[in-house]
Structure 1
């Protein structure tokens, strides 16, 4: 804080703070300690000095580090217009108020009595700044390859220095895989989240939150994408159907980026929709699963054979899985087709 010529002001005010009375009343005492104050930048800081039986003595407020006198009794000495003092005679409280504090106001303040010897109390003004994230330095997404490392970073500023806390938006654990260990964290503390070896299951939104005990606490989202070639699963690799009946074949694909999926018929030709009799469809389940289906009604002999569901996302050659459709005749040429779900699940990485 800026100060003015204190000596000249004291003369002008006719104050006698520097003339210390000999001795002091036996009952004069500080009734309460001078408490430390913590406020955010821009708020007001208030110190209360409670003195019993002050008598003819006076109270002064000082900045300890600069040794600047801020106020004497009810008179403000400093030229800083933000400083105010007041006195509650009934409660014997002397108050120093600093409006709209800045970081430079941090430090020790003293409530001083002109007794002989001098009596004083000190307290600390801690000016804090809420955390802010350096949003321009935080990417919205990161794309890495499966099996390789991933590194997400958030930088923050504030006083005291903020901690960066990482969580997954879906509530799942953060998994750190190393050569000899796997660790799981509900939250991870540090500017940088380093994952030495990622899998597709690490894909998703990660939240970094800056905290230093001062509100508000800002957050940023970083989306982690993990590239990997398609994995095709055929839940029912063998389907038996009565001629004239209908069937649905399904393939499940895991892939990122999203793959191009299609069906090949027994002659190796791409299957296209044909009215209501032949239909293809697919359903995406974030972040990397897709189920695509082939449905055929009014089955004829030409529809029997081995179909292939094919997937390609540019991370490898095309991957396909076979599904065989056979005629079901039953015993003596009659009966209903069995429940196809009794067939084992096939995981396929056949490349063509």
Structure 2
């Protein structure tokens, strides 16, 4: 009798052990067959002008009970979780297209400070993430503190005019004369040549001459409208030079006569007419 009980008990024990093994294996099989969330592709980077709306699309398949969130990558600021916006920035919103399985991060009235990368996350045990970046296009802006103002020099001195502009993409700087005349430049300090315009942050005028006096325009552009410009006035001081048409005039008595004296100078000189060492007329 005892041997029968032992045999029956051993069979029951083996049966339960077999049941648990089968259950465990079955459970493992079921667990392996369940799909985990995944991204269907990379997030496309976008380039958007300042003031417009930027949209990043994050497509997730087999999300199940997991959640999707957005985060600013550089400072780890949490922006949203599922359809709830966490940040207090009123320009940020999220939307979900169930048919396309796409989660959108939207930033309205884009600022240059919004530029950077954003992270789309799935809250799985081992966090899954994708990065998408926003490039904000900013029109050029000339920095007056780093740009030359009106300047006056003595004839023969060297002059350097500077123009600094910010923007994205980095602006291109072009110099030209306001009156449309060609720029007079020197090569190797001797040979003078003329050009319509010149590129670069600096306009260098070696041994400035009176013919170079006038208004210059620094124009900054980067294909993001509008382009901007600054007017810089260059004055070149030089001593007076006098030219007269005729040294001696013959006229009849009691008739009117006009005498011309052409004076070139900068600043404008005071002109004196003197007869027999006496001042008779002052012109300004």
TM range (shorter): 0.5 to 0.7
Residue 57 of structure 2 corresponds to 49
- Of the three residues 272, 277, 282, the one matched with 1:262 is 272
Pairwise CA RMSD: 4.2
Residue 215 of structure 2 corresponds to 205
Does 1:144 find its partner at 2:157?
no
How big is each residue's C-alpha offset from its partner over 1:236-279, in whole Å with a ceiling of 9 and x where there is no partner? 344333334332121211101211212233x343334xxxxxxx
SS in 1 for 2:35: coil
How big is each residue's C-alpha offset from its partner over 1:62-107, in whole Å with a ceiling of 9 and x where there is no partner? 555677775455344x445443112356888643112455555422
Structure 2: any 5+ residue segments left out of the alignment? 1-32
How far apart are residue 230 of structure 1 and its match? 1.2
CA distance in 1, matches of 2:83, 2:104: 9
Checking the alignment, whether the CA contact within 8 Å between 2:78 and 2:87 is kept in structure 1 is: no
Assess, with a 3 A threshold, how the Cα gap between structure 1 residues 185 and 175 changes in structure 2: closer, same or farther: same
Number of equivalences: 246
Does 1:250 find its partner at 2:260?
yes
Does 1:22 find its partner at 2:20?
no
Residue 225 of structure 1 corresponds to 235
SS in 2 for 1:236: coil
How big is each residue's C-alpha offset from its partner over 1:265-305, in whole Å with a ceiling of 9 and x where there is no partner? 3x343334xxxxxxx867xxxxxxxxxxxxxxxxxxxxxxx
Checking the alignment, whether the CA contact within 8 Å between 1:130 and 1:158 is kept in structure 2 is: yes
Residue 7 of structure 1 corresponds to none
Assess, with a 3 A threshold, how the Cα gap between structure 1 residues 248 and 104 changes in structure 2: closer, same or farther: closer
- Of the three residues 241, 246, 249, the one matched with 1:239 is 249
Rg: which structure is higher? 2
